[in-house]
Amino acid sequence: MSNTWEHYHHAARHHEEAAYHHKEAVKYDQAEEHEKAAHHAYLAHGHSQDAVHHETEAAKLHAEECARPVTPASAQSGPKKSAA
């Protein structure tokens, strides 16, 4: 699994967690349980920050991969298969 894919995967999971906690914060806020709402809002913010971090790292890795020049040696992924 490539590092770029791993970062995108982690970002997606953090976005899901942030959405869950945001939904919980809204629910508790409507029920006027402000401490619980604040706690879930805090967790949602943290997951959002983690998601942004992973998206940034994935973008950096992707840019590095795209910036590498393609050479004939790197273009070949291995020994050629014979047509049987």
30: its two tokens: 């409507």
What type of residue is 50? D
The count of structural domains within the chain is: 1
- Within a domain: 84: no
Q: Tokens representing 36? A: 């619980």
Query: Comparing 10-19, 44-53, 63-72, which segment has the lowest mean pLDDT?
Result: 63-72
32 lies in a domain?
yes
- In this model, does residue 74 exceed pLDDT 70? no
46 within a domain of the structure (yes/no): yes
Is 70 part of any domain? no
Q: Specify the DSSP element, H or E, that contains 42.
A: helix 34-67
Question: CA 33, CA 62: separation in Å to the nearest integer?
Answer: 43
Kindly state whether residue 39 falls inside one of the protein's structural domains.
yes
User: Could you tell me if residue 28 is inside a domain?
Assistant: yes
74 belongs to a structural domain: no
Query: Looking at this protein, which amino acid is placed at residue 10?
Result: H
Q: Is the pTM of this model over 0.85?
A: no
DSSP label at 31?
T
Residue 21: domain span: 3-64
